[in-house]
């Protein structure tokens, strides 16, 4: 074996050169790999004893792409596109042997090889678009030549991978290898040599890109307009695939490079690359070792079969973990189970699961009205409505019923987890698990760390979250924890802006255009204006009370801030509400004024950032990027803007501080700058310095 670089070596198996890549954890194509691949192929070309080359990886996966950590730094030669040109032009057949994930530059390496084989569990994808990029080493030019633009477009513009079986069907790979990959790849290489198979240079293929109808691009763009609003990279992906069809290979490659460079230098990709690492950092808690002991969660109890409890239940049974679901009355239980079954039936009707899957999942749920049935579960999640006395009573009961060592969790969104824990003799086993609604859909989970919560309990909560496919963020105890506490700032400002003269439609448009999935006022209509409202206490003190007293509850009854046609969720103007707002604002002493779109952004976003700074100071969150993960996954913050704390760094903390001070002078102490914000500005630092 010849070591070419610290990450690449060349070994001979008879006439076959085995180019081994070994760059843990994911064989990213950093400098030592690129240099090793380039020199390895050159060496194999010169070696008369080598007739064909197998490119294969050690460890858990084939190459997962370019080394994202190198992006933004001065590039070091050889560049990947040049290395892959060497592959392309190699006169001896190169066979890529894939296991794990051939992603991004990894798949581009395989596409630049002359043949591709893989184990059945391998995945193939070009996820660059999820980093705000496009495949920049020929992927946009080679994949359409190999499988046609229609099949290549979704892979490139959505970044979603395909499995080996589909890859074989579509012609991405030539063979699936059963058993040992290296042996299978060598056998395949020998077959290629024995059969004198012609070298299949993907760059030279033309049949799949000839006679392509231009409408496929127009149609695909229509789809993207719906799913990728605001993102720059998907459109660049389409343009590059169009070029694959319309331009000779070398020109297409050049165009791809131009688009790649533009995207790489833009703020969207910077945000999305930052976010990629933020989502991985979130699992690292400074005082919780990676090997902290875990509690085995084999069986879960959930109290409350309402929307929240039902959604949480689905998460666990989806992961194959049985759930005992407790309700106070059989009628509520039946209703809750019915909703879960209906949700699964809808999924099955869309072909996303089989009827058998539905039966299996429902079979994992045991409904009961007896809390005593929770005596053998390993984790209980209480998901009843937000009432401290009720929660306290439940935890006292649970403490008596549940076995020692069982984790007792509350799904409270706001309440003090320590106060709840104090009801038990095992506060170290009490934790908050704050799911977001709808709990079976939303990926965010705030793991709320009580003052006494034990390390194994926290480590288990984080591990369980991963098992049920949630992104868990550890936060501390305070009213609303991290996410809702920051969100309350926006809610307050939206309410005020409307009274000061901005129309609901203006506020909604500005926030929607910023990249949120919907405007905050339309969101209120969706959630229900009557949430937390009670007729008996309502005295017309807030716009919420005024609207509810007028029977305007939101989409649910077709009337909220907007009007809704029957069965429709599309907001229509409601002049009668404009009049109600005007009257209420006048009563409260507001003088209507024109409010700029810029002010709406600043009023709605800067206080969120400021609150984030306070949360960091109070050590409610571990790091600024954790808050960004919360906002992207729980509140619809557009990932191409990184998250509020990343966005703050981009805008400039000095600018944000100056605007907050101006608002404080004009509008009061809701805008009082957080001391941490002042400190960072004074020191010329960014939030990033705290990550
Ligand atoms: C590209 O290829 C551009 C080209 O077209 C053109 C170039 C000219 N780089 O996710 P995990 C780290 S763009 C650097 O927890 P899993 C990750 O941060 C690239 N580091 O494991 C983590 O580090 P740590 C296109 C990377 O098993 C560790 O590896 N490719 C990279 O759940 C383990 O990762 C992609 O976008 C990387 N490319 O999932 C693929 N990838 O332990 C991105 C991972 O310090 N990667 N790391 O926290 C993935 O999708 C997943 O990591 C993968 C494994 C599915 C591979």
- Residue 352: in which H helix or E strand, if any? none
Closest ligand 1 atom to Cα of 130: 36
Q: Is 100 in the pocket of ligand 1 (CB under 6 A)?
A: no
pLDDT, tens digit (0-9, with 9 covering 90-100), for 623-638: 999 999 999 999 999 9
| DSSP symbols for 140-176 | HHHHHHHH-HHHHHHHHHH---EEHHHHHHHTS-SEE
Spacing, Cα 69 to ligand 1 middle (Å): 9
- Is there a contact between 67 and 137 (Cβ–Cβ < 8 Å)? no
| 64 CA from centroid of ligand 1 (Å) | 6
Local confidence band at 609 (pLDDT 50, 70, 90 cut-offs): very high
pLDDT digits (tens, 9 = 90+) for 232-289: 999 999 999 999 999 999 999 999 999 999 999 999 999 999 999 999 999 999 999 9
Residues 526-547 pLDDT 10s: 999 998 898 999 999 999 999 9
Does 199 contact ligand 1 (Cβ within 6 A)?
no
Active site (catalytic) residues: 108, 128
Whether residue 432 has its Cβ less than 6 Å from ligand 1: no
Give the pLDDT score at 226.
86
Dump pLDDT digits (tens) for 508-530: 999 999 999 999 999 999 999 99
Whether residue 25 has a cis bond before it, omega within 30° of 0:
yes
Verify whether ligand 1 is closer than 6 Å to residue 127 (CB atom).
yes
Q: What is the pLDDT of residues 68-116, one digit of tens each?
A: 999 988 889 999 999 999 999 999 999 999 999 999 999 999 999 999 9
Instruction: State if residue 66 touches ligand 1 by the CB under 6 angstroms criterion.
Output: yes
Question: How many helices (H) and strands (E) would you count in the chain?
Answer: 27, 18
Indicate whether 501 pLDDT > 90. Answer: yes
CA 111 to ligand 1 center in whole angstroms: 19
Q: Half-sphere exposure of residue 173, counting CA atoms within 13 Å on the CB side?
A: 28
Give CA–CA dist 386/388, Å, rounded: 6
CA dist 461 and 664 (Å) reads: 40
Contact of 577 with 547, CB cutoff 8 Å: yes
pLDDT tens, position by position, 221-243? 999 988 899 999 999 999 999 99
Ligand 1 atom 11: residue of nearest CA: 280
Confidence band for 483, pLDDT divided at 50, 70 and 90: very high
Atom nearest to 123 CA in ligand 1: 55
132-138 mean pLDDT: 98
In angstroms, what is the span from residue 65 Cα to ligand 1's centroid? 7
- Give the pLDDT score at 21: 98
Residue 131 CB–ligand 1 contact under 6 Å: yes
Atom 49 of ligand 1, residue of closest alpha carbon: 64
Q: What percent helix, strand, coil does the chain show, rounded to 5?
A: 55, 10, 35
Q: What domains can you pick out in the chain, each with its CATH number?
A: 2-265 (3.90.226.10), 300-481 (3.40.50.720), 502-587 (1.10.1040.50), 597-690 (1.10.1040.10)
**Distance of alpha carbon 29 from alpha carbon 21, whole angstroms:** 9
d(CA 443, CA 438): 9
What's residue 427's pLDDT?
Answer: 98
> Which among 57, 63, 68, 74 is the best mutation to test ligand 1's pocket, defined by most ligand atoms within 8 Å of the CB?
68
Give the angle 172-173-177 at the CA atoms, nearest 5°.
Answer: 155
- 134 with 256: CB under 8 angstroms? yes
Task: Please tell me the distance between residue 481's alpha carbon and the centre of ligand 1 in angstroms.
Answer: 30
Statement: residue 51 has pLDDT above 90: yes
Q: Whose CA is nearest to atom 28 of ligand 1?
A: 25
Ligand 1, atom 19, residue with closest C-alpha: 65
Q: Compute and round to an integer the Cα radius of gyration of the chain.
A: 28
Is a pLDDT exceeding 90 seen at residue 189? yes
Beginning with the edge strand found earlier in the chain, give each strand of the sheet holding 407-410 in spatial order: 365-368, 323-326, 300-303, 379-382, 407-410, 430-435, 444-449, 471-476
- Give the tens place of pLDDT for each residue, 405-445: 999 999 999 999 999 999 999 999 999 999 999 999 999 99
How many Cα atoms within 13 Å fall on the side-chain side of residue 215? 0
Ligand 1 centre distance from Cα of residue 492 (Å): 39
**Pocket lining: 316 vs ligand 1, CB cutoff 6 Å:** no
Contact 513, 605 (CB under 8 A): no
Q: Which residue lies with its CA nearest to atom 43 of ligand 1?
A: 64
377-416: per-residue pLDDT in tens? 999 999 998 999 999 999 999 999 999 999 999 999 999 9
Residues 550-561: pLDDT tens digits?
A: 999 999 999 999
The whole-chain average pLDDT of the chain stands at 97
Does 567 have pLDDT greater than 90? no
65 lines ligand 1 (CB under 6 A): yes
Taking CA atoms only, the protein residue closest to ligand 1 atom 33 is 25
Average pLDDT of span 32-44:
98
Q: What atom in ligand 1 is closest to the CA of residue 131?
A: 36
**Distance from the alpha carbon of residue 3 to the mean position of ligand 1, in angstroms:** 25
Cα-to-centroid distance, 190 and ligand 1 (Å): 32
How is residue 675 annotated by DSSP? H
Q: What is the pLDDT of residue 1?
A: 81
- pTM, two decimals, is 0.95
Give 179's pLDDT tier (boundaries 50, 70, 90): very high
Percent of the chain's residues with pLDDT above 90: 97
CA proximity to 602, closest of 528, 539, 670: 670
What is the Cα–Cα distance from 500 to 312, expressed in whole angstroms?
40
**Cis-peptide into 139, omega within 30 deg:** no
Residue 108 contacts residue 84 (beta carbons within 8 Å): yes
Residue 80 CA, closest ligand 1 atom number:
8
Task: Please tell me the predicted confidence (pLDDT) of residue 34.
Answer: 98
- SS3 per-residue string spanning 526-555: HHCCCCCCCHHHCCCCCHHHHHHHCCCCEH
DSSP line for 609-635: HHHHHHHHHTTSBS-HHHHHHHHHHHS
- Percent of the chain having pLDDT more than 70? 100
Index of the ligand 1 atom closest to the CA of residue 25: 29
């Amino acid at each position: 074996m010849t070591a070419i670089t610290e990450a690449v070596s060349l070994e001979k198996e008879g006439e076959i050169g085995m180019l081994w890549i070994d760059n843990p954890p994911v064989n990213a194509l950093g400098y030592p790999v690129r240099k090793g691949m380039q020199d390895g192929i050159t060496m194999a070309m010169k070696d008369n004893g080598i007739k064909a080359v197998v490119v294969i990886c050690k460890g858990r996966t084939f190459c997962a792409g370019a080394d994202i950590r190198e992006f933004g730094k001065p590039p070091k030669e050889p560049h990947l596109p040049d290395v892959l040109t060497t592959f392309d032009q190699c006169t001896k057949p190169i066979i890529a042997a894939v296991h794990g994930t051939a992603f991004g530059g990894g798949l581009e390496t395989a596409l630049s090889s002359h043949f591709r084989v893989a184990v059945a569990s391998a995945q193939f994808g070009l996820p660059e678009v999820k980093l705000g990029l496009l495949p920049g080493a020929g992927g946009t030019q080679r994949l359409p030549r190999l499988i046609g633009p229609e099949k290549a477009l979704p892979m490139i513009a959505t970044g979603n991978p395909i499995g080996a079986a589909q890859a074989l069907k579509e012609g991405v790979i030539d063979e699936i290898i059963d058993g040992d990959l290296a042996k299978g790849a060598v056998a395949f290489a020998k077959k290629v040599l024995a059969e004198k198979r012609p070298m299949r240079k993907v760059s030279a293929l033309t049949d799949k890109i000839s006679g392509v109808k231009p409408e496929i691009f127009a149609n695909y763009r229509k789809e993207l307009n719906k799913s990728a609003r605001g993102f720059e990279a998907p459109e660049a992906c389409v343009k590059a695939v169009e070029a694959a069809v319309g331009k000779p290979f070398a020109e297409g490659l050049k165009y791809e490079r131009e688009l790649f460079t533009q995207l790489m230098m833009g703020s969207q990709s910077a945000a999305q690359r930052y976010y990629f690492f933020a989502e991985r950092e979130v699992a690292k808690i400074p005082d919780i070792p990676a090997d902290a002991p875990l509690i085995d969660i084999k069986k879960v109890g959930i109290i409350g079969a309402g929307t929240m409890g039902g959604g949480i239940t689905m998460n666990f049974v989806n992961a194959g973990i049985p759930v005992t679901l407790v309700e106070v009355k059989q009628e509520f239980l039946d209703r809750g189970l019915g909703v879960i079954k209906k949700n699964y039936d809808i999924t099955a009707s869309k072909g996303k699961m089989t009827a058998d899957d539905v039966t299996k999942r429902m079979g994992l749920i045991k409904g009961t009205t007896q809390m005593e049935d929770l005596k053998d579960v390993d984790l209980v999640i209480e998901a009843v409505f937000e009432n401290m006395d009720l929660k306290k009573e439940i935890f006292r009961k649970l403490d008596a019923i549940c076995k020692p060592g069982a984790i007792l969790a509350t799904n409270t969104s706001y309440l003090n987890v320590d106060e709840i824990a104090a009801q038990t003799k095992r506060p170290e086993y009490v934790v908050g698990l704050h799911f977001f609604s709808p709990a079976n859909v939303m990926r965010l989970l705030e793991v709320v760390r009580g003052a006494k919560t034990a390390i194994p309990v926290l480590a288990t909560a984080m591990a369980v979250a991963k098992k049920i496919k949630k992104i868990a963020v550890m936060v501390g105890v305070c009213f609303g924890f991290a996410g809702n506490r920051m969100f309350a700032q926006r809610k307050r400002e939206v309410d005020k802006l409307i009274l000061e003269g901005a129309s609901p439609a203006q506020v909604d448009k500005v926030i929607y255009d910023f990249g949120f999935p919907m405007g905050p006022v339309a969101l209120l209509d969706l959630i229900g204006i009557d949430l937390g409202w009670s007729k008996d206490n309502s005295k017309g003190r807030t716009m919420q009370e005024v609207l509810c007293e007028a029977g305007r509850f939101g989409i649910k009854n077709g009337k909220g801030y907007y009007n809704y046609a029957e069965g429709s969720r599309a907001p229509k103007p409601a002049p009668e509400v404009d009049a109600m707002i005007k009257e209420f604002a006048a009563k409260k002493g507001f003088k209507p004024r024109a409010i700029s779109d810029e002010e709406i952004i600043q009023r709605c976003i800067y206080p969120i950032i400021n609150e984030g700074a306070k949360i960091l100071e109070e050590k409610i969150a571990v790091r600024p990027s954790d808050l960004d993960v919360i906002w992207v996954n729980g509140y619809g913050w557009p990932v191409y803007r990184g998250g509020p704390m990343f966005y703050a760094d981009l805008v400039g903390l000095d600018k944000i501080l100056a605007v907050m001070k101006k608002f404080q002078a004009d509008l009061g102490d809701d805008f009082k700058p957080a001391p941490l914000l002042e400190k960072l500005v004074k020191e010329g630092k960014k939030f990033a310095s705290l990550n």
